[in-house]
Amino acid sequence: MQRGKPKNRILDYWVGIPLLNTLGIFRRRRLVPSRLQRIGVLCSPALGDTLLLSGPMQDLRAALPAAHIVHICTLQNLAAAEIIPGADERLLVDFTSIARTITKIRAQHLDALLDFSVWQRLTAFYTMLSGAKFTVGFDTPGQHRGRGYDRLVNHSANRHELENLRALLLGSGLVPPIRMPHPPAVTTSPFTPEPFESETDPVIFHPWASGKYSRLREWPEDRWIDLAQCLEEDSTTFFITGAPSDLPRIMKLVTLMRSAGLRAEPLPSQDGFFSLSRLLRRARVVVSVNTGVMHLAAIVGAPTVALNGPTAEYRWGARGPYAINIQPADGSGGYLHLGFEFKGQPEDIMERITVDQVAEACEDLAANYAGPEYAVSGRR
């Protein structure tokens, strides 16, 4: 289920809630198994949500070093799942293929399954029918999805999603009741080619989000050009990133920037996040709307400026050693909690973020950046 597809959410709500409640009548809550040999982890298919799971995944690995951890993922979030450390195995499923997904998960013979998704009834359904001996999930107000879990953990609208994910792990009963200080991280590989290795001053722009209402989380095109003119130095090359499907928009912005006398190159992510992660770490600054690449840049330790119009910084902002979150100067925006609450809200929030705000944040980062830190680790 994707946050940006209203039909999916409507079906998930009107079919999922009565189905879960009916199945839940016949279930009794169980205790944590005495042996935890195989543990499954399931999360939202969103790329950003998956990247935020990196910290809790490492916490789980540290707490249960002998367990075999299976990360259940989809094609939507595979690019993120394959670069976060902690799991021994990734199980690729298709949530739209119900019988096959249930069969594949049950074949794992899991001792426990942690469902880190927040609002989707479909993932709760799969967790309930997973065959796992113990299940954990969020009790999210208004989502009516918790009937089938053995243990429920409160999902709060008043803390960052990373803290919610950690709260689920710590409240699961599977790990000691202590906070483990693992920051989110990603893995890299020496076999991944270094993109644009000869460029000495890369600046990376990620202008686009995803989903039905993605335009409401995007900055006006002319602002990117104005910002580039503020940041340009003699050796600067601006890289415009996006998914392969974004290539037409990438090329349009690259052409406009070149017409303005700027050096610009397209960078669609052809190999998932592997090459992009390497370039992000070399960037003078990364400027991104609030989306998966924003989280990735912050996690790898790149100087990151996040544009958070409708998205609340305290809920979904960039978290990393060198990250600055920008909101409109007038204090508006920040109304997104689960990611789809656009109805009745103003549509010009991103336009209220000024070029001067972003340029100043970029200068602040440049003055304080000390180089890449801990965030990229060797592949497990």
Are 28 and 127 within one domain? Answer: yes
Are 11 and 142 within one domain? Answer: yes
Mean pLDDT of 157-183: 88
Query: What pTM did the predictor assign?
Result: 0.90
pLDDT value of residue 33: 95
CATH number of the domain within which 98 lies: 3.40.50.2000
Establish if 144 belongs to a structural domain: yes
pLDDT value of residue 377: 44
Q: Which residue has the higher pLDDT, 377 or 248?
A: 248
For 59-68, 172-181, 197-206, 330-339, which range has the lowest pLDDT when averaged over its residues?
A: 172-181
pLDDT value of residue 16: 64
Establish if 309 belongs to a structural domain: yes
Residue 53: which domain range?
6-184
Last residue of a domain, one of 134, 150, 184: 184
pLDDT value of residue 270: 78
Establish if 205 belongs to a structural domain: yes
pLDDT in tens, 193-212: 777 888 999 999 999 998 77
Is a pLDDT exceeding 50 seen at residue 379? Answer: no
Last residue of a domain, one of 184, 217, 240: 184
Establish if 193 belongs to a structural domain: no
Are 227 and 179 within one domain? Answer: no
Confidence of residue 146 (pLDDT cuts 50, 70, 90): confident
Are 157 and 205 within one domain? Answer: no
Establish if 359 belongs to a structural domain: yes
Average pLDDT, the chain: 89
Confidence of residue 191 (pLDDT cuts 50, 70, 90): low
Give how many domains the chain has, as a whole number. 2
Last residue of a domain, one of 128, 159, 184: 184
pLDDT value of residue 143: 86
Are 352 and 282 within one domain? Answer: yes
Establish if 257 belongs to a structural domain: yes
Confidence of residue 2 (pLDDT cuts 50, 70, 90): very low
Confidence of residue 24 (pLDDT cuts 50, 70, 90): confident
Are 224 and 355 within one domain? Answer: yes
Are 349 and 244 within one domain? Answer: yes
Are 17 and 76 within one domain? Answer: yes
Residues with Cβ within 8 Å of 107's Cβ and at least 6 positions away in sequence, in order, are: none
